[in-house]
């Protein structure tokens, strides 16, 4: 059994407070800015710890797709604007990670879709991204979003969409598109979003982590 899977079984409760959990940021190749939004994940973690009673480590390390350390993190976040490249070894490691219980959140920081979709086909050639309905559990708790993802930044003016990859009945990866949650998680001074907009982004992020850690 993978080390983090054992940790997850021992530590996860409804309140997720029995033992500290760790999440990570995916450091991918290809030239895209994987390092974008540096304050977003620490802010999201602090929000979850304060509002939901979670015990998640606010220090979020970067992990490469090919690294065995990937299996130490039940939740991995990926963002950026530009190119993404997974070689065969990286795609296989990501596949094994997701098949064994891991979860990947890909957050389009604008322009990521055309790069990430063909790369995720290397990871799961047999799967496609499917749009999740507003009735999906991820939109329900602890904060209700009856109309789906909140719109944080306009980009192309399209409605925000949440796509997922489902492997053997389990949601293993989500792709937040035309939403830009990560920008909403950042310090207010970065994008100067209103408090109401930032709160919507943080609450949706909290729903995602709640879903991952209670499934």
Sequence-ordered list of residues with C-beta below 8 angstroms from that of 19, at least 6 positions apart, any chain: 7, 10, 11, 55
Q: What's the pLDDT score for residue 99?
A: 98
Of 3.40.50.620, 3.40.50.740, 3.40.50.300, 3.40.50.12140, which CATH number belongs to 3-214?
3.40.50.12140
Per-residue pLDDT of the chain (215 residues; tens, 9 = 90+): 454 443 444 344 334 445 689 999 999 999 999 998 899 999 999 999 999 999 999 999 999 999 999 999 999 999 998 899 999 999 999 999 999 999 999 999 888 999 999 999 999 999 999 999 999 999 999 999 999 999 998 777 789 999 999 999 999 999 999 998 999 999 888 777 899 999 999 999 999 999 999 98
Sequence-ordered list of residues with C-beta below 8 angstroms from that of 135, at least 6 positions apart, any chain: none
Closest CA to 184 of 169, 196, 201: 201
Q: At what angle do helices 88-99 and 113-123 cross, to 10 degrees?
A: 70
């Amino acid at each position: 059994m993978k080390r983090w899977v054992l940790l997850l079984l021992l530590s996860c409760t409804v309140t997720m407070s029995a033992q500290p959990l760790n999440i990570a940021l995916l450091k991918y190749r290809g030239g895209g800015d994987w390092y974008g939004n540096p304050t977003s994940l620490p802010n999201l973690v602090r929000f979850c710890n304060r509002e939901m009673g979670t015990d998640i480590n606010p220090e979020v390390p970067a992990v490469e797709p090919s690294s065995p350390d990937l299996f130490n993190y039940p939740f991995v976040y990926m963002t950026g604007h530009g190119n993404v490249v997974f070689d065969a070894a990286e795609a296989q490691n990501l596949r094994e990670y997701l098949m064994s219980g891991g979860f990947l959140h890909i957050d389009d920081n604008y322009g990521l879709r055309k790069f990430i979709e063909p790369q995720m086909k290397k990871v799961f050639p047999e799967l496609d991204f499917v749009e999740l309905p507003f009735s999906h559990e991820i939109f329900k708790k602890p904060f209700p979003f009856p109309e789906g993802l909140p719109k944080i930044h306009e980009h192309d003016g399209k409605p925000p969409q949440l796509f997922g990859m489902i492997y053997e009945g389990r949601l293993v990866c989500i792709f937040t598109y035309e939403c830009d949650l990560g920008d909403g998680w950042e310090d207010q001074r970065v994008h100067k979003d209103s408090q109401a907009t930032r709160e919507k982004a943080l609450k949706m992020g909290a729903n995602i982590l709640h879903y991952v850690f209670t499934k």
